Amino acid sequence: MASKPPIRKYFISKKLDVLFLDLFNVYSFLARFFKELFSPPFEFKEVIRQCYEVGYKSLPLITMTGFITGVVFTKQSRPSLAEFGATSWLPNLIAIAIVRALAPLVTALIAAGKVGSNIGAELGSMNVTEQIDAMEVSATNPFKFLVVTRILATTFMIPVLALYTGFVGMMGSFMNINQTEQTSFATFFQGAFQSITFLDIFSSLIKAILFGFTIGAVGCYKGYYSSKGTEGVGKAANAAVVTSMFLIFLEEVLVVQVVAALR
Amino acid sequence: MEKKKGNIGTESVISIKNLEKSFGLLHVLRGIDLELKQGENLVVLGRSGTGKSVLIKIISGLLKPDTGTVNVLGQYVDKIDNRELQKLRLKIGFSFQNSALYDSMTVRENLEFPLVRNSSHLTRKEVDAAVEDVLDGVGLLQTINQMPSELSGGQRKRIGIARTLILRPEIMLYDEPTAGLDPITCIDINNLINEVQERYNTSSIIITHDLTCAKSVGDRVMMLLDGKFARQGTFEEVFKTDDERVKTFYNYNFTE
């Protein structure tokens, strides 16, 4: 008797099937986001509440890290410039470093850890405890209410936070330079703004918007589609942070390449 | 409180024909036929994992059937578009097994949420009055400003039911309403289900494996075995059988 053909469980292999399925799911998720974004009703109140959660509640952490970044970067750069007797260039160097790279990057990494994990865990927990289903059966579109609002909030607020980080970082740097070199406030900022171009600020803004969108989208995707069970919540929070950090570095490299080509 | 019989209409509010649903290789529902009459409390009994919850999730449009038709209040849930489904859902109340209260909101905000979003014309006073009325109806007005984490299991169930009632649904779907509760609280929940049916004239499907609940609230009982309804009738009729699978279920609940 001829043996039965084996049941084909995977199209290619388990890992490749999962990868392609995941890519398709990400595509569907993003397509749904843009579709829901432009279709009424619009959840303005919830977007503002999320902006408060993302922006205002991140301020203490962002202030501390921004300030420390400014101080440490200044202290670490001084000896190298001192070798050439060029410590007067410190404000220029710090401004370039903070505006071009550190402000959006540090803000995004801090937000990925704080906001991204929070979104992943919150939506994951809502999924596990059927709160998302409860929202759906009470005639509310949970994707619009939970996902669209959070992605919009991070996309709006990360650039604002990056701007604030830049300012706080510069203040940290100024305090250090003022103490050591007795440079005045006006001289410091004159030197700092001398080196920054419109393209620097524009590319930083674009990066911050991209980073914000990435943090929100990854956090929501991982949380909204987390597997059931408490383990799924932990995995969603973890994956939200790891994936968004990885994507942030990737985007940083890409934008730097594009800006370098434009310069 | 004993269930009062009567007031069951002849018109079907839910009509399911030849419903099938699989998850991968797992064939959960294998040809389900079901009719729910206006004003009726129908209990669906079955062991865990037999697809009881899947059945009510299909009725509420949370899951799509593989084959078969699901007609709710004259509309085929798997064939209507999202906008129509949202409108239909306003007429269906769904009480979840773990209550599914929104953790980040107080009891008041939990109850307001569906009402404010679906009745934007209501004034603040009207919303407050509706919330207080429905909370009073489940006997938990004093918890109005508490967070869900501060409530007991039984209170959470009642608030969950109150949240669905605030939209004045025509159909109530209860998913394991007495699961994880002590016997006295179970009796309270059973009484509440009967009160809801009388006060709001709802038609209900109650998913459970608790025979005391089935006996107290059911006008009619259907027993789900191996993905199909094996028995149906009154509670006594369902268990008057030589089918070992049914007898085991009864014996476990009442004699062991």
- Check if B113 contacts A (Cβ < 8 Å): yes
Interchain CB distance below 8 Å, A130 and B100: yes
Question: Measured between beta carbons, which residues in chain A are less than 8 angstroms from residue B92?
Answer: 137
Instruction: Give the mean model confidence (pLDDT) for residues B133-161.
Output: 92
Instruction: Give the mean model confidence (pLDDT) for residues B103-107.
Output: 93
Say what the pLDDT of residue A63 is: 95
Shortest Cα distance, chain B CAs vs residue A211, angstroms: 27
- pLDDT one-digit tens code per residue, B210-247: 888 888 898 999 998 888 888 888 888 888 887 777 77
Say what the pLDDT of residue B235 is: 86
- pLDDT one-digit tens code per residue, A76-109: 999 998 888 888 889 999 999 999 999 999 999 9
Say what the pLDDT of residue A1 is: 47
- pLDDT one-digit tens code per residue, B44-60: 998 888 889 999 999 99
CA distance A204 to A103: 8
Instruction: Give the mean model confidence (pLDDT) for residues B144-164.
Output: 93
Question: Measured between beta carbons, which residues in chain A are less than 8 angstroms from residue B101?
Answer: 131, 134
pLDDT band for position B256 (50/70/90)?
A: very low
Residue B142 reports pLDDT greater than 80: yes
Place of tokens 């990360």: A158
Say what the pLDDT of residue B240 is: 84
Interchain CB distance below 8 Å, B86 and A139: yes
Instruction: Give the ipTM of the model, two decimals please.
Output: 0.88
- CB neighbour list of residue B119: distance below 8 Å, 6 or more residues apart: none
Shortest Cα distance, chain B CAs vs residue A66, angstroms: 30
Shortest Cα distance, chain A CAs vs residue B127, angstroms: 16
- Check if A21 contacts B (Cβ < 8 Å): no
Q: What is the mean pLDDT of chain B?
A: 88
Residue B2 reports pLDDT greater than 60: no
User: Which domains are seen in chain B, by residue range?
Assistant: 12-100+169-254 (3.40.50.300)
CA distance B61 to B121: 27
Indicate the residue of A7, A130, A141 with minimum beta-carbon distance to B98: A130
Residue in chain A lying closest to B63 (CA): A133
User: What are the residue ranges in chain A where pLDDT is below 70?
Assistant: 1-9
Higher local confidence (pLDDT), A15 or B189: B189
Instruction: Give the mean model confidence (pLDDT) for residues B143-157.
Output: 93
Shortest Cα distance, chain A CAs vs residue B84, angstroms: 10
pLDDT band for position B4 (50/70/90)?
A: low
